[in-house]
Amino acid sequence: MNILVCVSRVPDTAAKIKVAGDNKSVETAGVKFILNPYDEYALEEAIQLQESKGGELTVLTVAGDEATDVLRTALAMGADKAIHVKANQLEKDSFYVANNIANVAKELNPDIIFLGKQSIDFDSFQISSLLGGLLDLPSVDVVSSINYADGSITGEKDIEGGKESFETSLPAIISVQKGIKEPRYPKLPQIMKAKQKPIEVKEAIETPLRTEILEMTLPEKARAGKILTGSDADIDELVRLLHEDAKVI
Amino acid sequence: MIIITDDEGKQEYQKDAANYLGKADKVYLPETTDEINFIVRDLYSNDIPFTISAARTGLTGGGVPHNGVLISTERLNRIIDIDVENKSALLEPGVHLQTFHDELRQHNLMYPSNPTETWSTIGGNVANNASGAKTFKYGATRNFVNYLEVVLPDGDEIRIRRGEYFAIGNEASLNTLSSNTIKFSIPNIKVPSSTKNAAGYYLRPNMDLIDIFVGSEGTLGVIKKIGLDLLYQSEEVISAIVFFDDYNNLLNFTEYLRNDNPRQLKPRLIEYFDKNSLDLLSKHHSDIPQESLGAIWVEFETNSIMLEHDTLSLYELTLEYTDLVEFTWVAMSDKDREKITKFRHDLPLSVNELLTKYNQQKIYTDTAVPANSFRIYYDEMYSHLNSMGVDYVVFGHIGDCHLHANLFVKNEKDKEKAEEFYHYMMKLAVELDGTISAEHGIGKIKRPYLKYMFSDAEIDGMKNVKKAFDNKNLLASDTLFFDR
Ligand SMILES: Cc1cc2nc3c(=O)[nH]c(=O)nc-3n(C[C@H](O)[C@H](O)[C@H](O)COP(=O)(O)OP(=O)(O)OC[C@H]3O[C@@H](n4cnc5c(N)ncnc54)[C@H](O)[C@@H]3O)c2cc1C
Ligand SMILES: Cc1cc2nc3c(=O)[nH]c(=O)nc-3n(C[C@H](O)[C@H](O)[C@H](O)COP(=O)(O)OP(=O)(O)OC[C@H]3O[C@@H](n4cnc5c(N)ncnc54)[C@H](O)[C@@H]3O)c2cc1C
């Protein structure tokens, strides 16, 4: 089975995000980047599939020069080879990325394309569905378990308040939910081997952006709830909070 | 200030993480640091004994009162200042370690004192001279304390900066805010050769007098404000869990890294997991090879230029020492590193969980020895553990030759054997020029064993220091010493 896993490079979950001076992008100075956590789950699912069925596992990213690190991480986890579609333009929208992924996929003809459910940077909820359209393939999102058969798969996907069973023919596009398989730590020998594994660089197809970011602002701080128990101290605290914080008494 | 007097409200303040139980008449929660002086002055003039507590993650009963008033620092939890340029911080004592770590990360700074229990407070850490995995490279909390404000048992105060006041030979004197002078003699005591020690006061001729407060377990005064030195975060860190199928190889690997070595690998931490620890952890972590008899967690600080070179050195080294190289976990991101840190943190928690589940008492060692006698200590420990027939788990700070052997006592017979082992290990550690307590302190629980390490004259010398600060003997009764 030939497997393609699409990965993206996102700011570390612990990073303090600031809006850059142009009010349209994220300030990247001083921010650490990581492999999108959902893509780690996608990779683990793909690696275990390859371990049981064989075939070749390729990882792909559409990004600037900086993204080599996440490809190396993916290779260290167990991918056989990586494709780096080099984006020249700084701004990429979902269509730009999906179009470039589709372009590579047409060449590779994978039996299955894995993605994360979402990338934790922009949360635009687009890529897998766009890919489905561009490649004319079935696309199933938020998948939490998969059973593999010859030429088809069955499985479950999360929906609000429950699960939905699905069946689809292959090739197909699958975006995975957190926890589908627990991602492994890269192993030391794999990290050493990863340095020898090929990263193929391809030039991106440049298309005009279909969306434009007008402005970016930080979300308003959610007010943290406080849980007080029934002790005298907490009653004093409650009175103080109602008086000083909420200003209702 | 908040005062708790009802039994239900007081309950949680009357026990610590070791389930050591005590009793307080009242619990005071000051809300500003200056309230401490006010409270303490009042207690002093009324001859009321008092004890200080913080997060009560302590494991020796130091934060649990036997009588009188308990002063909890939990509301004094402001980070007053982080000075990025001078790499230092000023804090109130009740700041939780995790809060401080998280805040520093935003400034690319690091405070290397990292006890496993990050709910503990900076005040508690200073009072216990707490240490953690990174102590292997950076030393314990003491090394980072540059300023203290301490409220004395009569409500007076000492403000002391590192490098300001030293003992002259064995004579020490400190001026208080209200221009009193506290004078005491520094007894000559035998200092163990282990790299860590938390038993008794820190006492050396010509010492910097700020050090008398660090590790004094809340017996000399209430620490009111703390100044800490900080470091920049390392640009890159290699964090790995190496599995071994042979104990001897595991120990040789550890020794190689503990010493200067031809590969120039200088870890910042070396932590140990034995087979039983791995079995316990494998319930929640699938990635542990079954053949493994033990594991070492090791971390190296490096930079983007040296990263590849150092990873290769580690790889070559593991190839030499274990057949299980293919299972070696490596964290390639901060997130993965946190997962490994959590893996280590899960261990004492799982032990405590098991104990609670079966309602068993925890008997564990906190002993450490100098590196040149570690093998004897290690072999003796296991030969006793394996002949006893009591379930156990061993893990800990092997870089500093400091292991926690935890025993699961199911009945009276087990208890007898476990206690015998516990005493044997303390005596052995002292015989090998080590310590009965490397990090958790003496508190109340380990008072009987101070005499394993120190002569009566040495202990009397320490008591005299205490008397110089606390002439009415009101503070922290029954911590560190008997019969005062
Ligand atoms: C809150 C929420 C609500 C949703 N509601 C629905 C719903 O009602 N119905 C439904 O069917 N689905 C739903 N979904 C699923 C969602 O539509 C798909 O998961 C979506 O296609 C993900 O796209 P995205 O733009 O968020 O993430 P993307 O940014 O598109 O990232 C998704 C994945 O694409 C890949 N990728 C992203 N950027 C790159 C790159 N530069 N190079 C290579 N690969 C890349 C990665 O694998 C990444 O994990 C929902 C998802 C979320 C999170
Ligand atoms: C799961 C677990 C793991 C642990 N791992 C480690 C470890 O790796 N390394 C380590 O060193 N310890 C460890 N400990 C022990 C404990 O966390 C430390 O001793 C810690 O320093 C206690 O801090 P605390 O804030 O909980 O203090 P408490 O337990 O409340 O008090 C401890 C002592 O400090 C005194 N004290 C507290 N605040 C002040 C103050 N402001 N002024 C004067 N005296 C004060 C108290 O009187 C008491 O004697 C661990 C504990 C647990 C439960």
pLDDT in tens, A25-57: 888 887 888 899 999 999 999 999 999 999 999
B86 CA to centre of own chain? 26
Quick one: average pLDDT of A195-203? 92
pLDDT tens digits, one per residue of B35-66: 999 999 999 999 999 999 999 999 999 999 99
| Mean pLDDT on B269-275 | 97
Rounded to the nearest 5 percent, the helix, strand and coil shares of chain A are: 30, 25, 45
Lowest mean pLDDT among A212-221, B201-210, B266-275: A212-221
Interface subset of B 264-303, CB within 8 angstroms of A: 286-287
Distance of CA A58 to the CA centre of its chain: 16
Average of per-residue pLDDT across A10-30 = 84
Kindly report, as residue ranges, where domains of CATH 3.40.50.620 are found in chain A. Answer: 3-203
For B137, residues 6+ apart whose C-beta sits below 8 A from its C-beta are B112, B266, B267, B268, B269, B301
Report the alpha-carbon distance of residue B276 to residue A73 in Å, rounded: 31
* d(C-alpha B246, C-alpha B207), whole Å: 44
Going by their DSSP bridges, the two strands B79-83 and B236-244 should be labelled as unpaired
Interior/surface letters B234-248, b for 16+ CB within 10 angstroms, e for the rest: eeeebbbbbbbeeee
Contacts of A165 (CB under 8 A, 6+ apart): A154, A155, A156
Correct CATH for B2-72 of 3.30.365.10, 3.30.43.10, 3.30.565.10, 3.40.30.10: 3.30.43.10
CATH fold, domain B79-232, is: 3.30.465
Assign B29 to helix, strand or coil. strand
Whether the pLDDT of residue B329 is over 90: the answer is: yes
> pTM here?
0.84
Q: How big is chain B, counted in residues?
A: 484
- As a whole number, the mean pLDDT across chain B is 95
Backbone angles phi, psi at B82, to 5 degrees: -120, 115
pLDDT for A224 equals 64
Q: Tokens 């080879």 correspond to what residue?
A: A81
Closest to B368 (Cα-Cα) out of B404, B402, B406: B402
Cβ of residue A118 lying under 6 Å from some atom of ligand 1: yes
* Annotation: CATH topology of B236-431: Vanillyl-alcohol Oxidase; Chain A, domain 3 (3.40.462)
**DSSP string covering A78-117, please?**
T-SEEEEEE--SS---HHHHHHHHHHHHHHH--SEEEEES
Residues B379 and B397: their CA atoms lie apart, in Å, by 16
Burial group, residue A90, by CB count within 10 angstroms (0-12, 13-18, 19+) = exposed
Mean pLDDT of chain A, nearest integer: 89
- Give A165→chain B minimum CA distance, Å: 27
Residue B484: is its pLDDT beyond 60? no
Give me the architecture of the A3-203 domain, per CATH.
Answer: 3-Layer(aba) Sandwich (3.40)
ipTM: 0.75
The pLDDT tens digits for B180-221 are 999 999 999 999 999 999 999 999 999 999 999 999 999 999
Rounded-to-integer distance, Cα A175 and Cα A153, Å: 14
Cα B309 to Cα A72, B265, B320: the distances in Å are: 16, 10, 17
The A-side interface with B (CB below 8 A) comprises 12-14, 16, 30, 32, 34-35, 37, 72-73, 76, 182, 184-189, 191-192, 195, 231-233, 236-237
pLDDT at A223: 65
Contacts of A73 in chain B (CB under 8 A): 332-333
Q: What pLDDT, in 10s, does the model give residues A150-185?
A: 899 999 999 999 999 999 999 999 999 998 888 888
Identify the residue with better confidence: B26 or A218.
B26
Q: Looking at CA atoms only, how far is residue A67 from chain B in angstroms? A: 14
The predicted pLDDT at position B354 comes to 86
Is the separation of the CB atoms in A111 and A170 below 8 Å? Answer: yes
Given a cut of 90, is residue B360 above it in pLDDT? no
